[in-house]
Amino acid sequence: MSSDDVERRIVMGFVDAVEQAHPALTRFDQRSGDGDFGDNLRGGMRAVVHRLDQSEESPLSVLGSVFLDEVGGTSGPLLGLLFTEIAVAVRDRPSVAAAWATGLSAGLRAITRVGEAAPGDRTMIDAIAPAVETLSESSDMSAAAQAAEDGARRTADMRARMGRASYLGDRAKGEPDPGAAGFALFLWAVSSVVDGTTTPAPFI
């Protein structure tokens, strides 16, 4: 299987997961934001599918470009930065865990630099950071995906310190941060292709 084929399978797996998780992602954002995260993420993935056959970029590069250019909200451009860093790191070796560790680490640095959030602020970083740590230590993509999911679920008990949710205080608690949940969906899609993981995607 070519590198582009591997990347395309990852992207299409993410597309399917986002479609199925749309109601949950919308519910999460209704608790902590303006309720449009599910729509934005689903719309972004549909735009990615439309562009895949029209672009000479790798599928993960298309994913990054679409989120940077077309997906609204705070999370869209941040996810675009993450996906772009991943695309650069895993090019020609999308089945190598070490390449993913490099890409995720670079993406985490980029998001932290631009978004100025830190672990514990109830953002997608609370899912990305434990995934990076786990993958760097174990080279186990399924373990990294589980770490991302666990990190996302922990945000349900956190008080937000960034973004619109920070104005809601404890009222934002009770559901995971939608950006963190979205990232966990992505990493499970990666794991299903790279590791052959059959674990059902979360939040569906």
How long, in residues, is the chain? 204
Residue 17, both tokens: 């997961």
49-96 per-position pLDDT tens digit: 999 989 999 999 999 999 999 998 888 999 999 999 999 999 989 989
C-alpha 71/C-alpha 63 separation (Å) is 11
* Cα angle, residue 34 at apex, residues 104 and 128 outer, rounded to 5°: 15
Residue 80, both tokens: 């675009």
Q: Which domains does the chain have, with CATH numbers?
A: 3-194 (1.25.40.340)
138-196 per-position pLDDT tens digit: 989 999 999 999 999 999 988 766 555 554 555 566 789 999 999 999 999 999 999 98
CA distances in angstroms from 187 to 111, 114, 168, 181, 198, listed in the order given: 17, 22, 29, 10, 13
CA atoms within 13 A on the CB side of 117: 24
8-61 per-position pLDDT tens digit: 999 999 999 999 999 999 999 887 677 889 999 999 999 999 999 899 999 999
Q: Which residue has the tokens 């499970």?
A: 188
